[in-house]
Structure 1
Amino acid sequence: MTFFVRPSRTDDIDALYEMAKLTGGGFTNLPPDRPALTAKLARSAAAFGRTDDAPGDDLFLLILENAEDGRIAGTAQIFSCVGMTCSFYSYRLGTLSQTSRELGRTFKAEMLSLTTDYEGASEVGGLFLHPRERAGGLGLLLARSRYLFIRQHRARFADRVIAELRGVIDEAGGSPFWDGLGAKFFGMGFQDADEFNATHGTQFIADLMPKHPVYLAMLSEPARHVLGLPHPTGRAAMRMLEKEGFAHEGYVDIFDGGPTMAAQTDRIATIQGATDATRAAGDAADGGRAALLATGHYDTFRAAWGRIAPSAGGMAVEPAAARALELPVGGGFVHVAR
């Protein structure tokens, strides 16, 4: 069975909405709200439709599709530059040391400071697989296809890429971190605040969030315990990011306390390891090596797993992958080891 990644279309709304209802909350980039998702698809269509290289406030929404029956199996997103229209807030974990000569003691206090340090960075996020498709490396296909898209359109993206991982959410859909901090200043539960952010943006954070540092010692034990931890379902995503060269630099999401990972764009492993090639005649299905393949630009971009092998005039590609990519003999593509 062959799956491929392609740009979203406006008629993906029904499948996208059904997936959004399965996220379980705390998934800001994929809210179970049809108007919000419709707006995302329209914004994505505009981004794919703009073919100049000028950076902008773009959202590229990718879709994972079954090549055999057209079934939608997952989605992922790329933001070209965060913070261009609405401030992009994070909490930075830091330490303040203070010494009392009278007591002869030094105290080190950990604190959270509200920052916009990551404004201007590109962001990968919104990766979600339908529960029935969580096998066979499809999550990795979606994740890594974003980096090849960035490589193919490098001028549209920043020199740093971030990824916000969902934080710990309890069985009732609440956030211990939000309950211990944000709820005290906003007068609303986590789900309401998260949904409001997903549909209206972050200005309400600037209006109501305290600007002074917050001492961790003043938070509840449940809030401190989950700070900087990914949701259990996000641990594999965190490992994938680390393998690509992302690292946690001490920044966390202001809603659920989940970790924000960051990497230099040109040092992301998939981008560094990718090579351009031309499809040659021949079949690499049996003796070739497994690779991630991508072809096309903007609204013709596609990515899929496939086998390739050196051949006269370029690289032979297994037929199923070539069909999924709509890649003719003589066509150009990019590949990186699986």
Structure 2
Amino acid sequence: MMIVRHAELKDLQDIYLLAEKSGVGFTSLPANIDILSKRIIRTQKTLAGEVPESEQGYLFVLEDFMSQRVVGLSAIEVSVGLTSPFYSYRMGKQVHASDELNVYKTLDTLFLTNDLTGVSELCSLIIDPTFRVNSNGKFLSKIRFLFIAAFRHLFKQKLIAEMRGYSTEDGISPFWNALGHHFFKMDFATADYLSGIGQKSFIAELMPRFPIYIDLLPESAKNVIGQVHQQTLPAFKLLQLEGLEYCGYVDIFDGGPTLQADIKNLKAIQNCQQVQIKIEAQNNQKGNQAFMVANDHYENYKALLVSHDGNERFLKLTPEQAQILNVKLGDQVRILALHTQEKS
């Protein structure tokens, strides 16, 4: 059985091992024990109402109930860019025209912006390769929507997700080598790591403030703008299916796309529901759908996967499941189908 809950300091070593496995390009989860510890503490302080909006964030863990080992992570930032700038490249156009020469040419550009300041962000999704089975990754990703639905007032109108961009197996980013490397004189892994641990001032100090003409970049870089890392492709497709869209913003390091949506328009927000529970010693129903079920306890948030007929007005839980969720007969829980129906 897999459980999602808030991260705690007891999880630190498992989280560090996950960060080590994440590889180059996973900016929001650096393999730094001090940074990771502070990330967990920030989650606990957010839950206790002890930090301002600019520092609020939630880190969730996927725990294997049998081994009590943390095997995955996902997170939500409440409002990005309020303490340190949140940078993106915005895809744009520049028109060059001359009536005298009868020339009219439209050129694609990249422009450094802080347009996405103040929005909520989905981030830090990672799962141990051994546990990328039985829809564990989908569960860990989508549970954030169920949490947002339960505590909608805590988040902003717009939600974004920066997707990891293309890099080679040995951690080489064609986009970085063609662009950022010329201004920073450091490799992609180093720049990515410094950004991940909060040392972002060098971005503002060294990045060009004028539009960058994409046509001047080599083909290797142009071809990966807006492209997703192979390991991130399943998460990218899942978020698109839920209603997030690519609107022309890309990461300044690897050129990966940023997805965005109004929270109210997300399928998960619209389709989740609250139902009462029944407790039965065994749940032998067959042919049911997989549903995420969460207890809506803010500080002691727990979620797991159960079988359920979406047409029923109540949810059957075993005594063990009810105990894990800390709910009793007649309590309400929030549920959402794990598998989103694709458009026909």
TM-score by length of 2: 0.92
In structure 1, what is the equivalent of residue 149 of structure 2?
151
Q: Deviation of residue 311 (structure 1)? A: 11
Q: After the TM superposition, which residues 173-252 of structure 1 pair with which residues of structure 2 at under 5 Å, given as runs?
A: 173-252=171-250
Deviation at 1:284, TM superposition (A): 4.4
Superposed, 1:128-143 pairs within 5 Å as 128-143=126-141
Q: Given residue 107 of structure 1, which amino acid in structure 2 is its aligned partner?
A: K
Q: Deviations over 1:260-313 (max 9, x none)?
A: 000111111111101112212445441444311111332211111112358998
> Residues 296 and 334 of structure 2 are in contact (CA less than 8 Å); yes or no, is this contact kept in structure 1?
no
Whether 1:307 and 2:321 are equivalent positions in the alignment is no
User: Within 2, Cα distance between the matches of 1:232 and 1:313?
Assistant: 40
Tell me what 1:297 maps to. Answer: 297
CA contact under 8 A between 2:279 and 2:319: conserved in structure 1? Answer: no
Q: Distance in 2 between matches of 1:252 and 1:11?
A: 35
Contact 2:289 2:310 in 1 (8 A): no
User: What runs of 5+ residues in structure 1 fail to find an aligned partner?
Assistant: none
State the AA in 2 paired with 1:68: M
Structure 1 window deviating more from structure 2 (67-76 vs 106-115): it is 67-76
Unmatched segments (≥5 aa) in structure 2? 339-344
Distance in 2 separating the partners of 1:175 and 1:310? 44
Q: CA deviation at 1:320?
A: 5.4
CA distance in 2, matches of 1:307, 1:44: 30
SS of 2:138's equivalent in the other structure is helix
Alpha-carbon distance between aligned partners in 1 of 2:311 and 2:236, rounded to the nearest angstrom: 37
With over 3 angstroms needed to count, the CA separation of the structure-2 counterparts of 1:100 and 1:302, relative to structure 1, is same
SS of 1:305 mapped into structure 2: strand
**What is the correspondence of 1:1-338 to structure 2 with a 5 Å cutoff?**
2-50=1-49, 55-282=53-280, 284-287=283-286, 288-309=288-309, 314-318=314-318, 321-338=321-338
Query: In the alignment, is the contact (CA less than 8 A) between 1:307 and 1:318 conserved in 2?
Result: no
Letter in 2 for 1:329: L
Q: Cα 1:19–1:74, aligned 2, differ >3 Å: closer, same or farther?
A: same
- Give the distance between the partners of 1:317 and 1:178, measured in 2 at CA: 50
Identity %: 33
| Stretch of structure 1 that moved more, 141-150 or 165-174 | 165-174
**CA–CA distance in 1 between the matches of 2:189 and 2:39?**
20
For the 8 Å contact 1:309–1:317, the answer to whether it is kept is: no
Code of the residue aligned with 2:317 in structure 1: it is V
How far residue 323 of structure 1 moved from its aligned partner, in angstroms, is 4.1
- CA RMSD in angstroms comes to 2.0
Question: Paired residues, what number?
Answer: 336
Change (3 A) 1:310 1:279: farther
TM-score of the aligned structures, taking structure 1 as reference length: 0.94
